Structure 1
Amino acid sequence: MEVDLDRARALRVLGRGAMGTVFLVAADPSGPGCGGRYALKVFDKRSSASKRDADRRARWEVTLLSRLAHPHLPSLLGTAETPDLLAWAVPYCPGGDLNELRYSLPDRVFSPAAIRFYIAETISALADLHASGVVYRDLKPENVLLRADGHVTLTDFDLSRLLPVPTSSASTSPPPQAPPVFHRRTRTFAAGHHAKREPTVSSAASAPKQQLQNLVRFLMRSNGAALELAKKTKSARVSPVSRKFAASSGAAWGKSYSFVGTEEYVAPEVVSGYGHGFDVDWWAVGVLVYEMAFGRTPFKGKNRKETFRNVLHMEIDFPGDTQRRMPELTDLISRLLERDPARRLGYAGGADEIRAHPFFAGMAWDMLAEVTRPPYIPPPAEDDAAAAGEGFDVRDYFKKLHQPPPPGSDTSSSDFSSEF
């Protein structure tokens, strides 16, 4: 369905990032949302330093969204494109994200029961992605949104990647078109798949010696560039710097060699450059569970270099007598945060292996969205019918971004800056 940008009235900005600005939009009764509200992500083709690659990333996300059909993954409501803008609409999640919810709690940690609920739904979403051959690669609390009914929805798929999956576990629906080769990424924004999988990560030892030597040299160069590129942002995503060599060799091995992710959530195999597969998402689940339980991520250092060193070498620290009081929870974290992907929970049996862990005993996996009551129900959304008439035009918003500032004005704190 086409989104009519002539009639779309944005009520406010939900988030900004390198890949676009997200608006809360009052829905046209004849368009997506049918009289309610929706989130509109808009990619400004003029604002990216690498326009061609950013455009490909945006189109990959739209393509993927058009194929998703899972209760904990977003659906594509509609799209719009002009010579300067590419926009796509998805359902609005009024409950914010898990990070916002955690900070609203008195002690800023979740109970084991709440963790079990939110992580179970997140695992179901990741399982569906994996079954379609998509590795997510950007799991963090800011990307786990809460719908009006309290259930979760994953968001932000531009760092995802299509990888080969075994025929026995492939989805019955055709997979989306493989994402293209991208070169740079500097930012993220915060707005606000379910079949058994055989292991797809294979050893690089079978590659020719010269090819491996070339790969190591490439990774050393690209990792260094990615680290330098990411210095501008507090919780930076480590982004694909160049995939040309890695994409040609990694696809045959069922791995990606992109240096990509959010620094506190990246898996050791991403930091080391050995190549990664679907198992990086299970590592990120372990980091997310730890943060929800203890209010901090397990490997965060004083700077990016120390964080990556901790990811590679530091032992997991469980506060106090947590291991005695919550043995199932700490065991789940420990097994997900196994540095060797081949020993990590989920490697051998995919999501089903994680579902079978004692921490999830009694969980009705097939009926999560129907019978499980969420720990938190967002308050009813305000009626924006009146506000819709006072909203602003999305296209005018971006026109202002590209207007030259008045002579002598200070633009360092402009609300319309595309850099963060």
Structure 2
Amino acid sequence: MATVSSPEIHLHDLRVIKILGNGALGTVFLVHNRHSDPSAHFPFALKVVEKACPNAKTDVDRRARWEMSVLEKLTDKPDPFLPSLLGYFETEELIAWAIPFCPGGDLNVLRHRQIDRVFSVTVIRFYLAEIVCALEHLHSLGIVYRDLKPENILIQSSGHVTLTDFDLSRTLAPKSLKSLILSSEPEMFTNKPLRNRKLTRVLTFTREKKNIKLKKTKSARVSPMTRRNLSFSNGERSNSFVGTEEYMAPEVVRGDGHEFAVDWWSLGILCYEMLYGTTPFRGKNRKETFGRILMMPPKFNGKLTPLTDLITNLLEKEPTRRLGYTSGACEIKDHPFFGGLKWDLLTEMLRPPFIPSRDDVELTGNDWGGGINITEYFKKLRELPSPLDSPSRDDCEYNVSLTEF
């Protein structure tokens, strides 16, 4: 892996304002430089990973360095909907990197602040468009994201989105033009008319507040685990079993090998959740969830619309028939749901659906009043009982192998 060339920051220069969150890979702190920014006018997010955590079952050091290398690529080739690497530091025990702070929290928190815990179609259109652009840029760099979900979509101070957490991503060689022609079907080049689609119309949920939890239970995250060693001529594919349960594509569940189309599947899951407040295939347990992903069609309320047609095309279980498989983001941008959208003017929108205020920073974490030392924080964590002893874990990682990245 290439050496990180971004500016080095120093741990002793940083003051912690609060903890923004704890994930499967590390802890994210809101910090500021006590010397160059003593009044904390320009705080930034600092993701810190303990390199040899006794309770860690995965190769966290390797995954941390991989995420930094992705952020460096995004810094060299920036995109308005993706983060940049502001700096890093490393000690014998810790490795950390700094990225811009997003005061609006994540898309899941924002959705739960809405009436009925869902977004309007207009708001969905705005956020989906920016996410499509972010994925398009990642794919142009040969990076498949593999962990698209509301918790990984943050709201910038401008109100625009940015993706975060790239430790489950990987690089893939693109498909050749010849392989695209051989694998394509005529119907993939045009959007099917709405009248030709038959969708089951059933009531999948109620929007009554008494039946909706304030926050959904976090879906289990699956670390990369190599599956059978298959050979593909139609572009490079990964055989890793990786992702977050409710958002995993059928080809990942089956172990058939996967490529960039898995991100378009996850986009369909995300879109469905923004519309209905729940994911379409969630079961009582992991086995039932995977069974529904493989076999069950998405269910919609009411009449067919351009939005539900988009979701249906994205949630095509056969990846070669999925919207976005052949021409990537171009196919999705051409869908009728985005008709009339001026893609090149997205960043110039002055009034996105939600613009964070200074008070919104309180929603992103627990205030520690600056009274926490990062090194001491991780020392105290090591003294706590192992989370593996607990029968209930929010972010459990089932697989430990990282032989294929």
Query: TM-score range, shorter-chain basis?
Result: 0.7 to 0.9
Q: Given that residues 145 and 168 in structure 2 are in contact (C-alpha distance below 8 angstroms), is that contact kept between their aligned partners in structure 1?
A: yes
* 1:103 match: 112
* 1:76 match: 85
Q: Given that residues 163 and 251 in structure 1 are in contact (C-alpha distance below 8 angstroms), is that contact kept between their aligned partners in structure 2?
A: no
TM-score of the aligned structures, taking structure 1 as reference length: 0.75
* 2:94 match: 85
Matched, 1:355 2:333: yes
Q: What are the within-5 Å matches in structure 2 for residues 5-404 of structure 1?
A: 5-28=11-34, 30=36, 35-47=41-53, 53-68=59-74, 69-166=78-175, 199=180, 234-242=218-226, 246=229, 249=231, 253-319=235-301, 321-323=302-304, 327-371=305-349, 373-381=351-359, 390-403=370-383
Q: Given that residues 129 and 136 in structure 1 are in contact (C-alpha distance below 8 angstroms), is that contact kept between their aligned partners in structure 2?
A: yes
Query: Which ranges in structure 1 are unaligned for 5 or more consecutive residues?
Result: 169-197, 204-232, 406-411
Q: Deviations over 1:331-378 (max 9, x none)?
A: 100000011111111111110110011101111111211136311111
- Report the 3-state secondary structure (helix = DSSP H, G, I; strand = E; otherwise coil) of the residue aligned with 1:107: helix
- Report the 3-state secondary structure (helix = DSSP H, G, I; strand = E; otherwise coil) of the residue aligned with 2:165: coil
Residues in 2 aligned to 1:53 and 1:311: alpha-carbon distance in whole angstroms: 28
CA RMSD of aligned residues (A): 3.2
* Greater mean alpha carbon deviation, residues 74-83 or residues 295-304: 295-304
Residues in 2 aligned to 1:344 and 1:370: alpha-carbon distance in whole angstroms: 31
Q: Given that residues 98 and 144 in structure 1 are in contact (C-alpha distance below 8 angstroms), is that contact kept between their aligned partners in structure 2?
A: yes
Q: Given that residues 175 and 236 in structure 2 are in contact (C-alpha distance below 8 angstroms), is that contact kept between their aligned partners in structure 1?
A: no
Query: Which ranges in structure 2 are unaligned for 5 or more consecutive residues?
Result: 1-6, 185-216, 398-405
TM-score of the aligned structures, taking structure 2 as reference length: 0.78
Q: Given that residues 166 and 200 in structure 1 are in contact (C-alpha distance below 8 angstroms), is that contact kept between their aligned partners in structure 2?
A: no
Residues in 1 aligned to 2:58 and 2:148: alpha-carbon distance in whole angstroms: 26
Q: Given that residues 155 and 162 in structure 2 are in contact (C-alpha distance below 8 angstroms), is that contact kept between their aligned partners in structure 1?
A: yes
Residues in 1 aligned to 2:40 and 2:69: alpha-carbon distance in whole angstroms: 22
Q: Given that residues 222 and 241 in structure 2 are in contact (C-alpha distance below 8 angstroms), is that contact kept between their aligned partners in structure 1?
A: yes
Letter in 2 for 1:337: L
- Report the 3-state secondary structure (helix = DSSP H, G, I; strand = E; otherwise coil) of the residue aligned with 1:392: coil
Letter in 1 for 2:62: R
Deviation at 1:383, TM superposition (A): 9.7
Number of aligned pairs? 346
Deviation at 1:43, TM superposition (A): 0.6
Deviation at 1:249, TM superposition (A): 4.8
Q: Given that residues 168 and 243 in structure 2 are in contact (C-alpha distance below 8 angstroms), is that contact kept between their aligned partners in structure 1?
A: yes
Q: Given that residues 200 and 277 in structure 1 are in contact (C-alpha distance below 8 angstroms), is that contact kept between their aligned partners in structure 2?
A: no
- Report the 3-state secondary structure (helix = DSSP H, G, I; strand = E; otherwise coil) of the residue aligned with 1:335: helix
